[in-house]
Amino acid sequence: MSLPISFLSDFGHDDEFVGVVHGVLAKLAPDSRVVDVVHEIPRGEVRPAALSLLRAIHYLPEGVALVVVDPGVGTDRRAIAARTAWGYFVGPDNGVMSPAVAMVGGAEMTVAIENSDMMIPSSGATFAGRDVFAPAAALLSSGDATLEDLGPRVDPNSIYPLLLPLPEIGDGTVQGEAWWVDHYGNIQFNIAPEDLYSIGASEGEGLTLIVGGQRHAITWVDAYGAVGEGEPLLYTDSSGMVAVAVRGMRADQRFAIGDGTAVTIAGT
């Protein structure tokens, strides 16, 4: 039985790219089930893609993760595949898979995808998602190829890491940054509830959110319904991180926060 394939990319849906990759998967692994994780990652943005995969990995069926966010396509960046306790990861060696691989216990073995027999011949080098990554993922899924068939082993120390910034705990403050703005305008920070506990904060009390020198009174609660319409709130999101929302509105617009914006949360 074929392993399920979880597919994440920055292809969007305006072009045929997602469908073409699905077609390759269907031809080479017709029994595989494909889960479309997300295809609206900002074009070429590795960190948002890595964080998306990190948030999702424990909820995806064990099998093959096919990750195609590849701003270095056509350059000398490596195409790699890794085996973990969760399953296989296939994608570019640009850090996009590193946090999720670490989350599931690290790679047991990693190879560079270099065997041309495992690729789709192409006159161009700009669609590695179709020609390199999709065939590798499909062949691993179907069992028609092993990891070793794809290419030579890679030194684990040579894999490109993705270093995620940690919050800084000060005297009554936690300094961090925005990691993710979701479809609704809610903003996830690189701050965990434990970081707020460490400065003496607790759920139900008022805190101060500082953005660009502007101070905003905000309450740490457990659900949107705990505040009135149009009021801001801090909460622990579905990934276990601290986030900010505005009930019935977009928090990113209210506070002028985007991916990477520096923020400080202070006790009152």
Q: Where is the domain boundary, 124, 158, 192?
A: 158
- Supply the pLDDT for residue 98: 97
Give the end-to-end CA distance of the chain in Å, rounded to a whole number: 57
Q: Are residues 213 and 249 in the same domain?
A: yes
76 lies in a domain? yes
163 lies in a domain? no
Q: Are residues 197 and 65 in the same domain?
A: no
Q: Are residues 191 and 133 in the same domain?
A: no
Mapped onto helix, strand or coil, the DSSP state of residue 37 is strand
| pLDDT average, residue stretch 207-220 | 94
Rounded Cα–Cα distance for residues 163 and 165 (Å): 6
208 lies in a domain? yes
229 lies in a domain? yes
| pLDDT average, residue stretch 224-240 | 92
238 lies in a domain? yes
Q: pLDDT above 90 covers what percent of the chain?
A: 90
Q: Are residues 115 and 240 in the same domain?
A: no
- Supply the pLDDT for residue 126: 86
pLDDT bucket at 141, cuts 50 / 70 / 90:
very high
Rounded Cα–Cα distance for residues 248 and 246 (Å): 6
Q: Are residues 78 and 119 in the same domain?
A: yes
- pTM of the shown model: 0.92
Determine contact, residues 167/174, Cβ cutoff 8 Å.
yes
Beta-sheet pairing, 5-9 with 64-68: parallel
Q: Are residues 181 and 80 in the same domain?
A: no
- Supply the pLDDT for residue 24: 98
Q: Where is the domain boundary, 106, 128, 158?
A: 158
Q: Are residues 113 and 222 in the same domain?
A: no
Residue with tokens 């295809």: 39
Q: Indicate if the pLDDT at residue 268 is higher than 80.
A: no
Over the stretch 5-45, which tens digit does the pLDDT of each residue have? Answer: 999 999 999 999 999 999 999 999 999 999 999 999 999 99
Full residue range of the structural domain in which residue 140 is found: 5-158
Tell which wins on pLDDT, 268 or 112: 112
Q: Are residues 53 and 143 in the same domain?
A: yes
Structure tokens at 143: 């069992």
Q: Are residues 211 and 115 in the same domain?
A: no
Structure tokens at 107: 């790679």
Residue 136: Cβ-neighbour burial (10 angstroms; 0-12, 13-18, 19+)? buried
220 lies in a domain? yes
CATH of residue 152? 3.40.50.10790
Determine contact, residues 89/109, Cβ cutoff 8 Å.
no
> What does the mean pLDDT of the chain come to?
95
Strand-pair partners of 235: 243
Structure tokens at 197: 């506990």
Q: Are residues 80 and 146 in the same domain?
A: yes
What's the total number of domains in the chain?
Answer: 2
| pLDDT average, residue stretch 60-88 | 96
91 lies in a domain? yes
CATH of residue 227? 2.40.30.90
Structure tokens at 80: 């790699």
pLDDT bucket at 77, cuts 50 / 70 / 90:
very high
pLDDT bucket at 124, cuts 50 / 70 / 90:
confident
Q: Where is the domain boundary, 158, 176, 202?
A: 158
Q: Are residues 128 and 13 in the same domain?
A: yes
Q: Are residues 195 and 262 in the same domain?
A: yes
Measured over all CA atoms, what is the biggest interatomic distance in the chain, rounded to whole angstroms? Answer: 63
